Structure 1
């Protein structure tokens, strides 16, 4: 595996566009070569994402069925009991997951009893030997420190799209708010999980701009989810077409080349991808998927555990084994 000192943090938009627009076969070959230099090519990290508090969010993210202002079929669910969450985490570990992510549909973390319960969940999942990740909305530095002290390994806060296109998708917070939360996570010594969504109506230049923001951070995000829009009935983006698979492959390959040390996560949208299409994404450098016993990714359909394990076996891939040092949040 290569040294992080080899990483670049000074990419230009022109350089990234040139990579993204390479002939597809050449692009995938180069990405696969980078992937093999930095990672074990036959390992895929299995991650489980659980919605611990669902719906009722005051934000207006155009893609999200959990926004209270949209009329969707998603049922609002209060914060789950800690025991229930830990039971899900144990089952996820038994099914091959090495990372367990907890999501709450909040605009921001508040210093109240619900946050105290999240802290207890983090401690419990950490004690199971899993990488524990949370996505809870905006976060202050002091809140990030509390999570770190509880054993949080990673915090997810996606950019979603480019700074230029951001206001077309969300009006209830600013792009800079997302950057500030990521900075607070870094200051606390927690690893960063940040990526975005394609298929929102953005242009390829917006995808490149988002990747450039991530790649030119002082420290690259350790985890970069690449999501295809999961169209939810009742949201403003429900009528957008399914993103072309080759666009997904190009996005993953470009992310792999410019963020070589990061875990590139093939995230939302897999339910609409065939096994062959997912295989192309793995060849292009994706080395993690989200799976779950409920066959959902938060509130949208997702392949189930058995289906994913069969796919990995068919492709000659295996779940990554990764035990976390539970004495602190960083391995």
Structure 2
């Protein structure tokens, strides 16, 4: 079985990343098959509960108020609207609902109280609930946990050295502090990055090193391919070659063997065979549904057809929690 480590060097990770591609995929696939139910894929659905008008300057994001994009500002959704979206996602095969708000940080106000109500309501549908709301304090993380939140997403995006080129309105330490607060509240951590920002291979390796050397590996690691949006500073970035995505997924799978690795944004540009390579290399989660916040994404029916072709099946909700309870009762 693959060893769980938190002391990986950049040199070790780089050696894995630069392995000849076929050998890399084989190694990652072998490790992936050591885990139970390697043919299962966790399906998440992502909705934007508050869209646009964000004060941050993330160079890739169409929701930043300072950029002129086609994204229209929408106020916070109502709880019943979120529950309706969650039910539809569940019927489509999703076991997790992720709710995103275009905020710099969580503020203790009526909007946050409404998010807590959303978490409680979706949790009652027997779905894992995830939020991505920007930075949050330890107290706010605990409030979310008390409401029934399962996971919190806060991506590192890129390496610490490259970060200032992409975002100037917050620091890398701000990101890490939020992950620390999430852990303190005993929430599941969802944190990964974006490939195709104009970063170097060394930046990708450095980001993976930061994730793998956290005190506990993130339970979920989204690997996003940049979707360039007109009006943002990164609108002219070229599409990410599929081999780069495969290398990132395979490397993440090898060094974080127990984590869920999510093939996230950018799937609309990938063929069936492209995605099959990513699953073979260790991806075992996707976002399903027509949109990822504001960018296009394959629909549920399309994904179910792909699952049928590849012999994959959706993973049930709360599987790790249920497995732990079964073990305790034996």
Give the TM-score of the pair, scaled to structure 2.
0.96
CA-CA distance at 1:38 after TM superposition: 2.1
Aligned counterpart, 2:63: 66
Aligned counterpart, 2:244: 247
Aligned counterpart, 2:313: 318
**Equivalent of residue 292 in structure 2, options 288, 297, 313:** 297
RMSD value over aligned CA atoms? Answer: 1.6
Instruction: Say if 1:325 and 1:44 are closer, same or farther in 2 by CA, change over 3 A.
Output: closer
Contact 1:131 1:324 in 2 (8 A): no
Per-residue deviation, residues 146-203 of structure 1 (Å, max 9, x unmatched): 0000000000000000001000000000000000000000001101000000100000
Aligned counterpart, 2:304: 309
Contact 1:129 1:325 in 2 (8 A): no
CA-CA distance at 1:324 after TM superposition: 6.7
- The answer to whether the aligner puts 1:31 opposite 2:25 as a matched pair is no
More deviation, 136-145/41-50: 41-50
Instruction: Say if 1:326 and 1:56 are closer, same or farther in 2 by CA, change over 3 A.
Output: farther
Aligned counterpart, 1:217: 214
Aligned counterpart, 2:268: 271
Question: C-alpha separation between the residues in 1 aligned to 2:320 and 2:171?
Answer: 35
CA-CA distance at 1:322 after TM superposition: 2.4
Instruction: Say if 1:21 and 1:162 are closer, same or farther in 2 by CA, change over 3 A.
Output: same
Q: How does 1:1-331 map to 2 (within 5 A)?
A: 6-292=3-289, 295-323=290-318
Contact 1:129 1:326 in 2 (8 A): no
- State the secondary structure of the residue aligned to 1:164: helix
Give the TM-score of the pair, scaled to structure 1.
0.95
CA-CA distance at 1:316 after TM superposition: 0.9
Unaligned runs of 5+ in 2: none
Unaligned runs of 5+ in 1: none
Question: C-alpha separation between the residues in 2 aligned to 1:72 and 1:34?
Answer: 42
How many residues align structurally?
Answer: 324
Question: C-alpha separation between the residues in 1 aligned to 2:249 and 2:320?
Answer: 29
Question: C-alpha separation between the residues in 2 aligned to 1:112 and 1:105?
Answer: 15
Question: C-alpha separation between the residues in 1 aligned to 2:57 and 2:113?
Answer: 26
CA-CA distance at 1:325 after TM superposition: 9.9
Question: C-alpha separation between the residues in 2 aligned to 1:324 and 1:91?
Answer: 21
Per-residue deviation, residues 68-95 of structure 1 (Å, max 9, x unmatched): 0000001111100000001111111111
- State the secondary structure of the residue aligned to 1:165: helix
Question: C-alpha separation between the residues in 2 aligned to 1:299 and 1:194?
Answer: 19
CA-CA distance at 1:42 after TM superposition: 1.2
CA-CA distance at 1:323 after TM superposition: 4.2
